[in-house]
Amino acid sequence: MALPELPDDIYDTIFQHLALADLVSLRRVSRRLEKITHLRSLWLSLLHTEIWDRHIPTPGLNPYTDSLDDLTALQLERYVRDSLELYRNWTSAAPVVMARRRITAADAHVPQTRIISLHFVSIRGRLCLLSFSITQRIEPRMITLECWDISSSRSDPPKCIAQRKIRWFGGGYAVNSDHSSLGLIAIRAPLVEILTVDFDATSVEAGFIILKTLTAEAKAVLAFSGSTLVFKDLDDAVMLLDITRPQLEVKLDHPQPLLAANEPDSFEAVIQQDYAVILRPKTLELYPLTRFRTGCEALKSISPVAVHQFQFRIDSCRIERHLSPHHPDLSSMTVGSHSQVYPIHILIRYSSFFPWPVNLIHHYTLFPNRAYDPNGLGTSSDTVSATNLPYHVNPVLCHTISSPVRLFSISDMAIGRYGTALWVDSHTEDHFYQAEKGQRLAGRKLPALVNWDSTHSHDQPPGSQDQNKDVSASMVFGFNEKDDWNRVAVDDKEGCIAVGTIDGRIIIDTYI
């Protein structure tokens, strides 16, 4: 048969083996080939091969409303195009800001008001930014929670849809890592309250709703994931409870030594259905949660089944799973089923003998254990045990990143769910700024490592020549001639970065 006489399905099969640039070029050959390049099956295949198989996230794909079966060929093509455009810009040496929006916290007019925390969250498929600002007064100290809808047009300023002022008792708060859960924020005020956002509220002051007030005597809220809350009680014991049955409190035993009161007390956690990974100032611990999930009333405490001790004390840290683009959201992996085990990235700044951290960021990775059986020993005992671990608990040092911070200067770190490390430091190689002041917003794309287990043994995590290598930032997002940046948040799926300042202002940059 002559080439022009081939049926469309044969062309479709052939075109699926072409590079995307070649496919677009075929549209200029003839009307028939141009028509074939718009076939839905072709773009569905390209979404897998050009985007997801390369571990590139898909901006705009809403896991709540978008089903691949319902998407047209034009919509699939748009997702492929947007994903590649964002990835090329995001991973370049100097990513270009496509839109910059500025917002101001409610108390920014009050002296000494500062942003103390920023979090991107997806609520009902809408990208929102949670901001926490505090009025730095001795008494009364007030914290203001605000939720900004940033999913609207980039030309419009973000809209505040919820706002609440709370008397600050210093007991901390936590944003739910599972955005599909009913509760969004856990905060001590002075009892622990579980808050969510009402998009239909008649005013921003009524936008935050109290879903539940817990009776647990909490000194500080440490972590919140799904319905699981981790807090510190009045005796400084770390406790675990499920907000759906808060009467059952379980203590997390740990080998952490007592810490001096004037030293930083970091705490990060990844909490899944069957286990919890806890990162403290000196240790990384893995706890089994099966009996806790079943509501065993006889369970009073849980001991870790594996512990790793770091050589130095941690000053600040961040921990986050590296998700696969095949799962646009956490909801499909954490509710009512065993969790899929993904690599966990850890960023650490160690403490020094002086009252400031060292000028290095250490990137560790916690690798999944191929031999892990998610069904374990059954429901009568813990699925996770010393002989059935979801991870190799000794984290692998992958990179040591140069990131200097001047004496008593501000720094912050964040990790995106698709493997973007982001930080603020004092590195001012740009000659425009003076050496005695200025900040840099820099980042590094962390390797996906999704298919590492197909090429390595059951017993050992992978090793590579790149591990434990001194590196620098691979992306520099911008410089600041002042020293007023103090908090940073990143959503590397949608290509957004938020930077908070010490005077209550927030900058939101979009890179697509």
Q: How confident is the model over 193-210, as pLDDT tens digits?
A: 999 999 999 999 999 999
Whether 362 contacts 444, CB under 8 Å:
no
Residue 1 is predicted with a pLDDT of 47
pLDDT above 50 for 344: yes
User: Partners of 363 in the beta sheet?
Assistant: 347, 399
DSSP 75-133: HHHHHHHHHHHHHHHHTSSSPPPSEEEEEE-TTTTSTTEEEEEEEEEEETTEEEEEEEE
| Choice between 28 and 355, residue whose per-residue pLDDT is larger | 28
Mean of pLDDT values over 12-23 = 79
* pTM (two decimals): 0.89
What's the CATH number for 3-90?
Answer: 1.20.1280.50
Q: What is the pLDDT of residue 64?
A: 56
Query: Which of 50-54, 252-256, 325-329, 435-439 is the least confident region?
Result: 325-329
Structure tokens that stand for 244 in this block = 């759906």
Q: Which residues pair with 214 in a beta bridge?
A: none
Calculate mean pLDDT across residues 436-462: 68
Average pLDDT of the segment spanning 306-310: 94
Return the higher-pLDDT residue of 369 and 333: 369
Among 179, 153, 191, 200, residue whose Cα is nearest residue 323 = 179
Q: Which range, of 44-48, 145-149, 289-293, 389-393, averages the lowest pLDDT?
A: 44-48
Is-contact 365 435, C-beta < 8 A?
A: no
Residue ranges in 294-410 assigned as alpha helix (H): 331-334
Beta carbons of 375 and 383 less than 8 angstroms apart? yes
Contacts of 122 (CB under 8 A, 6+ apart): 128, 179, 329
Burial of 402 (0-12, 13-18, 19+ CB in 10 A): middle
Residue 224 has pLDDT above 90, yes or no: yes
Cβ atoms 367, 463 nearer than 8 A: no
Please report the sign of the dihedral spanned by the C-alpha atoms of residue 427, residue 433, residue 438, residue 440: negative
pLDDT tier, 458 (very low <50, low <70, confident <90, very high otherwise): very low
Band the pLDDT of 473: cuts 50, 70, 90. Answer: confident
Distances (CA, A) of 506 to 108, 349, 437, 459: 10, 25, 20, 46
